[in-house]
Amino acid sequence: MTNKNHDNTGPTSQERAAASTSSDASLAGLSRARNWWKAHPHLFTFALTVLVVWGVGTYAYIFFSPRLTYNRIENAVVTRGLGCSGSPGIPVNTLYTQPTLAIPSSQCNSLESTENRDTLYTVGVLDLSQGPEVLHVPDMAGRYYAIQLTDPWGTVFAYVGRRTTGTQAGDYLITGPGWKGTVPNGVTQIASPDNTVALIGRTLVESDSDVATAYGLAKQIQITPLSRWKPGQ
C-alpha cells in the first residue's frame, strides 16, 4: 500500500532565491568595506596601531602595576619613614619600629593610612646585592607577631612569626638570588627571589597599658649584615 502523504522538508524555490539574494548582499557589503579600507590605507594603519597600542598598554599596565606600587611605597619609606612630610626616612638595610599605635585616618602615606590600631609596625627596605642580612627576632613569649618579606612584584615569599616559626628567639639569613655562601649554625636561611625586599613586621598590642611592653619587644627585631653578624647579637 503506497502512502501518498509525503513531507516536503526541502527549501522551496522562493526560499532558495531569498537565501541567494541575502548571500549576494553580504558579499557585496564585504566587498564595499574592503574597497573602502583600500581607498583609505592611512585610516587602516591608524586603527591597527590603536588596537596594538591599547592591547600592549593594557598588558604592560597589568604586568607592571605591582612593581610601580612597590616602588612608590619603598620611596615613601626611605624618604619619609612612616611619618608625614618632613619626617626622617628609614635608610636601606635599617629597621624602624613605631613606639606608638598608628592613626588609621592619617593620610601621610599609603602604609600609615592602612595600619591596624592594635599593632606596632616594624618596617624597612633591604638591599641584598652587597650580601645577605641576618634578621634577629627576640623571644616573644607567646605574643602574636608577624614579619612579612615581599619582593618588588608584590609577592610575599616568606613569613616569620607565631603562625609560621613560633615565638621563640631566632635568627634568619635573608639571601639574594644566586648566593652561594655558608649558612651559620643555628640560623635559618630565607632565599629571596630578588635583591630588593620590603620587610613589614607587626607586633600585637593587647591594650593601651601594653604599648610599652610590646614596643620593648618589637624594637629588638633587628637586621645585621652577615659580614658583621656574630652569634648572640
Q: Please give the model's pTM, rounded to 2 decimal places.
A: 0.67
Domain ranges of the chain: 13-18+24-76, 91-227
Residue 140: the pLDDT is 97
- Tell me phi and psi for residue 215, to 5 degrees: -65, -40
Tell me yes or no: is domain 91-227 CATH 2.60.40.1610: yes
Mean pLDDT, rounded, for 140-153: 94
Residue 196: the pLDDT is 92
DSSP codes, 166-195: -SS-EEEEEE-TT---PPPTT-EEEE-SSS
Of 47-51, 64-68, 173-177, the range with the highest mean pLDDT is 173-177
Structure confidence at residue 173 as a pLDDT band (50, 70, 90): very high
- Please tell me the distance from the alpha carbon of residue 114 to that of residue 106, in angstroms, as a whole number: 8
Which one-letter DSSP state was computed for residue 150? E
Say if residue 203's pLDDT is above 90: yes
Q: Which residue has the cell 652569634?
A: 231
- For the packed helices 41-80 and 13-39, what is the interaxial angle rounded to 10 degrees? 70
